């Protein structure tokens, strides 16, 4: 006895049932519904892709802190842009009396007399945490933060600056002292900001350690994100963010030193003299 006709009949019957089910579904799903379903699926897919890309970008930022590295001499040559249409009365680095060895050392944080907190040296990754520990128990005695630093970690500088503003302290750069690279971001945190006539305050471009391990798009994204964060911080501190344009155009091997007039123009100083 042959069973092939029976099997063939079963297959035909199953196929007809499947077709019937699809026709029934089609009655309930018009073209508009199908389009909406496809659109929602596309949105979910794009959202998932963006989430994964953003997570990878955060991982990249975690391993690539934005830091200006130490140099043999942190007193870098001045950068003067061409064809700015503006007079530049100050074209060379001011006379900095602090030795490169002191400036390049790990930052020291010491409370002196009359409520002056001295911050001297390089801003390493982790200096913000050191700062928080050092001011525990002494914050009520601090009135002024005296800066003397070639800069370093941008994110640590931003964190320290925010903390200084929370306490409402004054920031100051004295004659012969340097506040460069990311240090002006710390300086911007002062409720009052004092720069003496012969203080050296300057900025230049930053970059991320480990950037060579990231793709070009990730590196550009990280730079844009950091620039936006700096700009927002300056606005919160009531400093004109146009100040940072000078950093963006100045090579890392040089510094754009601000004149006293520019410090006032950008509201980076609220007072030019200590008295």
pTM value is: 0.73
User: What's the domain count of the chain?
Assistant: 2
- The verdict on residue 197 lying in a domain is yes
pLDDT at 266 over 90: yes
User: In this structure, are 109 and 193 located in the same domain?
Assistant: yes
- The verdict on residue 113 lying in a domain is yes
* pLDDT for residue 127: 97
User: In this structure, are 181 and 45 located in the same domain?
Assistant: no
- The verdict on residue 180 lying in a domain is yes
Q: Are 158 and 152 in contact (CB under 8 A)?
A: no
Q: Which tens digit of pLDDT belongs to each residue from 83-106?
A: 655 655 556 778 999 999 999 999
User: In this structure, are 261 and 215 located in the same domain?
Assistant: yes
Neighbour-count burial of 124, counting CB atoms closer than 10 A to its CB (0-12 exposed, 13-18 middle, 19+ buried) = middle
Gap between the Cα atoms of 259 and 89, Å rounded:
7
- The verdict on residue 70 lying in a domain is no
pLDDT at 76 over 80: yes
User: In this structure, are 170 and 239 located in the same domain?
Assistant: yes
pLDDT at 225 over 90: no
User: In this structure, are 246 and 146 located in the same domain?
Assistant: yes
Task: Give ∠ CA 27-28-29 in degrees, rounded to 5.
Answer: 95
More confident residue, 50 or 248: 248
- The verdict on residue 78 lying in a domain is no
Q: Which tens digit of pLDDT belongs to each residue from 154-202?
A: 999 999 999 999 999 999 999 999 999 999 999 999 999 999 999 999 9
- Smallest CA-to-CA distance from 164 within 141, 186, 179 is with 186
User: Is 195 in a helix, a strand, or coil?
Assistant: strand
- Give first-to-last CA distance, the chain, whole Å: 116
User: In this structure, are 228 and 130 located in the same domain?
Assistant: yes
- The verdict on residue 82 lying in a domain is no
pLDDT at 21 over 60: no
User: In this structure, are 20 and 151 located in the same domain?
Assistant: no
Q: Are 79 and 204 in contact (CB under 8 A)?
A: yes
User: In this structure, are 21 and 147 located in the same domain?
Assistant: no
User: In this structure, are 55 and 117 located in the same domain?
Assistant: no
Enclosing domain of residue 35: 4-63
- The verdict on residue 255 lying in a domain is yes
User: Is 78 in a helix, a strand, or coil?
Assistant: strand
User: In this structure, are 51 and 167 located in the same domain?
Assistant: no
For residue 187, what is the domain's CATH number? 3.90.226.10
- The verdict on residue 91 lying in a domain is no
């Amino acid at each position: 006895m042959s069973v092939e006709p029976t099997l063939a009949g079963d297959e035909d019957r199953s196929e007809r049932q499947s077709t019937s089910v699809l026709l029934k579904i089609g009655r309930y799903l018009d073209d508009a519904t199908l389009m909406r379903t496809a659109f929602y699926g596309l949105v979910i897919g794009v959202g998932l892709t963006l989430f994964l890309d953003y997570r990878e970008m955060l991982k990249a930022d975690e391993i690539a802190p934005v830091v200006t590295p130490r140099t043999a001499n942190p007193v870098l040559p001045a950068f003067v842009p061409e064809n700015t249409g503006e007079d530049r009365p100050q074209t060379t680095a001011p006379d900095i009396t602090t030795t490169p060895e002191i400036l390049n050392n790990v930052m020291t944080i010491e409370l002196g007399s009359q409520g002056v907190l001295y911050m001297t040296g390089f801003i390493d990754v982790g200096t913000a945490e050191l700062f928080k520990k050092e001011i525990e128990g002494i914050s009520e005695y601090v009135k002024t933060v005296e800066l003397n630093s070639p800069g370093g970690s941008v994110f640590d500088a931003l964190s320290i600056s925010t903390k200084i503003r929370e306490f409402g302290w004054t920031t100051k750069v004295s004659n012969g002292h340097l506040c460069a690279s990311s240090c002006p971001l710390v300086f911007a945190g002062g409720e009052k900001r004092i720069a003496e006539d012969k203080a050296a305050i300057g900025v230049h471009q930053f970059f991320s350690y480990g950037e060579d391990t990231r793709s070009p798009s990730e590196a550009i994204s990280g730079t844009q994100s950091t620039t936006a964060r700096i700009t927002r911080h300056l606005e919160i501190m009531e400093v004109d963010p146009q100040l940072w344009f000078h950093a963006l155009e100045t090579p890392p091997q040089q510094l754009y030193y601000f004149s006293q007039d520019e410090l006032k123009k950008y509201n980076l100083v609220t007072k030019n003299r200590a008295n």
